[in-house]
């Protein structure tokens, strides 16, 4: 109800000792609180029930952290969405040096499902890599490469947009978002990433958004996202 995560995600946060009530760490599920008196925090941030749900698309610039707080005071996405009328949270992550489409919302259930591999939400990237990418490399990416976390990462579709003796530009379509997955996959076929941009997430494109700018999603876009992952 506070827009931080889904019910299942809330259980995970409690298990990770990230939830406190009146600054006491919650040790078990099902703790009853008094909404008028008790102060609930997640990762040290006070949370409150959402009164209005917001859905935002941000074109995240590179050199920006996909988080709302950073102890080392590096620039985060919070800098760009400070004019939003309520607190929203990123759906998934984009690497520090990756730019592009990032959805933010305080609808915890929708955010959870959009980010979950089970729902196969499409992510479209443009990558500039070193060297000449061949059809054999593309087939290897489709077959899959083991990632650092043990998962088998793979692309769904790929297109070589440009290639010369030094670099290639690719369009990649994926349906999962493991940490640094695109970079790990391309490095695995011998083509390290030089620049990476997510041009589309769940059908939402950033064509008309300059880096650092955001917009509200339309009612049609919100309904389509919910239908995509089975949210009423």
What residues are annotated to the active site?
95
- Beta-strand ranges (E) seen in the chain are 19-21, 24-25, 40-42, 45-46, 55-60, 89-90, 99-105, 123-130, 145-146, 152-153, 157-163, 167-174, 193-201, 204-205, 214-216
DSSP 117-144: GGG---EEEEEEEES---HHHHHHHHH-
Helices and strands counted in the chain (H then E)? 5, 15
- The C-alpha angle 146, 152, 154, rounded to 5 degrees, equals 105
**Maximum Cα interatomic distance, the chain, rounded to a whole number of Å:** 66
Helix, strand, or coil (residue 105):
strand
Helix, strand, or coil (residue 195):
strand
Q: Based on C-alpha coordinates, what's the Rg of the chain? A: 19
């Amino acid at each position: 109800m506070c827009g931080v995560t889904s019910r299942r995600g809330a259980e995970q946060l409690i298990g990770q000792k990230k939830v406190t009530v009146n600054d006491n760490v919650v040790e078990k599920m099902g703790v009853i609180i008094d909404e008028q008196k008790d102060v609930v925090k997640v990762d040290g941030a006070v949370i409150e029930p959402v009164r209005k749900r917001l859905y935002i698309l941000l074109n995240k610039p590179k050199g920006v952290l996909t988080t709302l707080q950073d102890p080392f005071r590096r620039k985060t996405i919070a800098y760009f969405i400070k004019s939003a009328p309520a607190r929203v949270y990123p759906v998934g992550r984009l690497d520090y040096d990756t730019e592009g489409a990032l959805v933010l919302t305080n609808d915890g259930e929708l955010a959870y499902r959009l980010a979950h591999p089970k729902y196969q939400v499409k992510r479209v990237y443009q990558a500039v890599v070193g060297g000449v990418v061949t059809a054999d490399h593309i087939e290897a990416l489709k077959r899959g490469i083991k990632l650092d976390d043990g998962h088998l990462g793979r692309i769904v579709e790929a297109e070589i947009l440009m290639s010369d003796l030094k670099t290639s530009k690719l369009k990649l379509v994926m349906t999962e978002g493991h940490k640094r997955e695109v970079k790990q996959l391309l490095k695995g076929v011998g083509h390290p990433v030089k620049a990476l941009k997510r041009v589309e997430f769940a059908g939402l494109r950033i064509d008309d958004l300059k880096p650092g700018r955001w917009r509200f999603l339309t009612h049609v876009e919100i309904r389509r996202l919910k239908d995509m992952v089975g949210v009423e």
